Amino acid sequence: MFIFRKTHPLVKIVNSSLIDLPTPANLSLNWNYGFLMGLVLLIQILTGILLATRYSAHADLAFNSIIYLVQDSNNGWLLRLLHSTGATFFFILIYLHIGRGLYYGSFILREVWTIGVVLLFLLVITAFLGYVLPWGQISYWGATVITNFVRAVPYIGTLVTEWIWGGYSVGNPTLTRFFTIHYLLPFVMLFITILHLFFLHIRGSSNPLGLRRNTYKVPFHVYYVIKDLLVIFIFIFIFMFVTLHFGYNLIDAENFIPSNPLVTPIHIQPEWYFLFTYAILRSIPNKLGGVFLIASAFLVLFLFRVNRKIHLFRGFQYFPFTRFIYWRLVRVFLLLTWLGSCPAESPYV
């Protein structure tokens, strides 16, 4: 058994990053979203590794391997529901995390904000690739629709699309490479998350008052360790309750039907966390314009910290007008999400 002295480098790192870290004393529950996302990421990695031991990344076997996992494997149904529900909670938390960052001006922390937006992009890609893997009707046709958007890129669109497919349509090569990338990206996200925390500890956390200097600070331990443990217990209870009672409600019913390239589902729609982008896409008659606006909906987050000296405000909470803009943004996001769930017909277009 090894006993580390206080002068040991590992002990110094733990003390400086977790125990003695100076933390603002006025942090609220809104500052727990990032920590909970790290917990969900670990759940996703663990359940994903266990699911991969039973999954067959082949167009003829993928759907049946999922059925075998759920019906015949010990606790396989629980692993699948934990993984699918984890994706839902991940997006809920990251949207709340970004909303809190915008409202309280966390984009002042330039490196932390930029790495966080990169994590959002990686999460979107990982979630899309994972949605294709069950190889049901929505999975197949969703992959077909989304990858076809690459064709809108001038000159190289068709070539890149066929390279992604591994042929002239979505098929077995597409599924194989999607599974490989989906398996690897969470580990990349874990590394970037550690980088995110590294810069956060260097720059220091933001706070509800938006003060950057002369802020009263307390050690992270014991004050916030106890608070985080309480939040963990509450979150796990809610997470397991939703998983066990409403897990299958979060999965599209069409995805319980094996993929059939000859039959197109009547209403193809993505998961709820992509519905706002789907509403933006179908509101533009031009395919390239729709793809550009979807990319802009995410890339606009980079503009808050393009330059250290160029920003209009430190957060949306400081003035009544900027607060009005923020809550209008939230209302537009919710409205677009609802419109994306409606059929692509009048008056919802």
Catalytic residue chosen out of the listed positions 56, 58, 162, 201: 201
Our measurement of the distance from residue 87's CA atom to the centroid of its chain's CA atoms, rounded to an integer in Å, reads 7
- Give CA–CA dist 9/6, Å, rounded: 8
End-to-end C-alpha distance for the chain, whole angstroms: 66
* Catalytic site includes residue 341: no
* Catalytic site includes residue 205: yes
Catalytic residue chosen out of the listed positions 111, 162, 228, 254: 228
* Catalytic site includes residue 6: no
Our measurement of the distance from residue 342's CA atom to the centroid of its chain's CA atoms, rounded to an integer in Å, reads 23
The secondary structure of 195-247 as a DSSP string is HHHHHHHHH----TT---SS--EEEHHHHHHHHHHHHHHHHHHHHHHHHHHHT
* Catalytic site includes residue 217: no
Strands, E assignment, the chain: 22-24, 217-219
Catalytic residue chosen out of the listed positions 58, 217, 227, 311: 227
Q: What is the dihedral of CA 252, 253, 259, 265, to 10 degrees?
A: -90
Catalytic residue chosen out of the listed positions 205, 206, 252, 259: 205
* Catalytic site includes residue 227: yes
- Give CA–CA dist 261/169, Å, rounded: 10
Active site (catalytic) residues:
201, 205, 227-228, 271
